[in-house]
Amino acid sequence: MHRYVARRTTGSRPADVKIDNKRSVLQHVYLQGTSSKPEACQAAGLSRPTASHLIDELIDSGILRKTTLGAPSDTGGKRPQLFEFDDDAGWAIGIDADGQAVRGAAANLRLAGQAVHVQPVDARPDGTSRPERVGEAVADTARALIDAARSAGRPVIGIGVSLPGEGNAAPAGRGAAGRGTDAAGRLAEATSEALGSLGLPVLMAPRIHNAAVAETWFGCGITSQHTSFMVVDTHDGLSTGLVNANGETPVNAAYSMAALGHTTVNLDGPRCRCGNRGCWELYASERAFLQAVKRGAALWHLPSALASDLRAGSPPVVSEVAAHLRKGDEFARTQAETYADRLAIGLVNVVNAFGLGVVVLHGGLRPLGQSFLDLVARHVREVALPPAAAEFGVMFSPLPDNAPLMAAAAVIRDALEGTTLISALAAIQDAR
């Protein structure tokens, strides 16, 4: 039995202590799946009367619900009543603020998708979009998903927004996430302003931050034994996020957004958008991979169906490279091996600097399969320093490639570690 301690302390007043205790109970039940009152009492470090009273209140509010009877104790006696977390007690809204189209999703408290909405954004002649237009599309998407939740009879506990860039997470109105560039700052400000009238908690963060949170609470952090790992997103440039769990549960995990995609791996390399030369991103992002495949096809003179298709004008796509790789296409194999080596170059630095045992890949590389991951891991182990090198592994995320759901995961995490879930459902109960 683990002891789960709430991440935040609300205050020292009796009402604040009660909220903290409720949060500890909720975290325990959420992570265990089912529990009895004696188990929750022990896990939260509360007296039995206190734990029992809090659980009854949480059941009345709809966050917990009774389920089956548990097994009798070794000494016999009455079988304990078990209760579980009601995954549908509330919905979290996640929105990905892409410049071309805003995509949104509503998820229940286990991150199961419940509704989706896509809102196109008017673009300028150069293909970019005004931040104000993106902010308006984000607000329209949020309203559509709030209406869907209302129709389903589900309260909305908050809105999460994934922004481009690698800044820090920030609640709307308390500084903008992703202020690494003026464009990112303007987008964050426009989004914050557009969502301010909805009356819901809003958490804006870079995509990689939300991906790291989702991985911790719903992906690698739950399905594997690793408490510290790195999330690498190859889809939009090359973004990296470090996760360091302080215990055996996702509660209290620390998140660091490290712009390792902009570490130099080639002093004589081309100029990067960040201003440096030879950044890892220029070699290891999906965009760089597909550009290299296209260039390589023009120079390939041996038989290859993939190279022939590309020379005939077919656009390079990861899934097509993977399909030809499975058929034994020599050009596809050469390109996959070269890309695995380029991805490994930066990961060697990660392993040597942080001693991480596992890297979790987000993005569109999944079609390349386990053989590609084995290539990457082999390259890293051959070059990285012991002892971390021997334990290193790389895996595709067990989560879907769905940026809006990653943003919704950040809302769920914030609700479970903060007070928004308890407060939202308490307000609904008072209104009944």
Kindly report, residue by residue over 382-404, the tens digit of the pLDDT. Answer: 999 988 888 899 999 999 989 99
Query: pLDDT (tens digit, 9 = 90+) per residue, 284-323?
Result: 999 999 999 999 999 999 999 999 999 999 999 999 999 9
Domain endpoint, select from 60, 85, 110: 85
Q: Does some domain include residue 8?
A: no
Whole-structure pTM value: 0.88
Residues 171, 128 share a domain: yes
Residues 149, 260 share a domain: no
Name the amino acid, one letter, at 413: R
pLDDT grade for 76, boundaries at 50, 70 and 90: low
Q: Does some domain include residue 44?
A: yes
More confident residue, 38 or 284: 284
pLDDT grade for 420, boundaries at 50, 70 and 90: low
Residues 276, 224 share a domain: yes
Q: What CA–CA distance (Å, rounded) separates 351 from 176?
A: 31
Q: Does some domain include residue 4?
A: no
Name the amino acid, one letter, at 336: A
pLDDT grade for 78, boundaries at 50, 70 and 90: confident
Number of structural domains found in the chain: 3
Residues 238, 196 share a domain: no
The whole domain housing 39 covers 14-85
Look at the alpha carbons of 307, 311, 312, 315 in this order and tell me if their dihedral is positive or negative.
positive
Q: Does some domain include residue 1?
A: no
Average pLDDT over residues 106-134: 87
Average pLDDT over residues 86-93: 93
pLDDT grade for 182, boundaries at 50, 70 and 90: low
Residues 171, 74 share a domain: no
Q: Does some domain include residue 3?
A: no
Query: pLDDT (tens digit, 9 = 90+) per residue, 323-346?
Result: 999 999 999 999 999 999 999 999
Residue 41: is its pLDDT beyond 90? no
Q: Does some domain include residue 365?
A: yes
**Closest-CA residue to 92 (of 13, 148, 163):** 148
CATH number where 81 lies: 1.10.10.10
Residue 127: is its pLDDT beyond 80? no
Residues 390, 363 share a domain: yes
**Closest-CA residue to 106 (of 191, 200, 31, 176):** 200
CATH number where 354 lies: 3.30.420.40
Residues 325, 196 share a domain: no
pLDDT grade for 430, boundaries at 50, 70 and 90: low
Domain endpoint, select from 85, 113, 141: 85
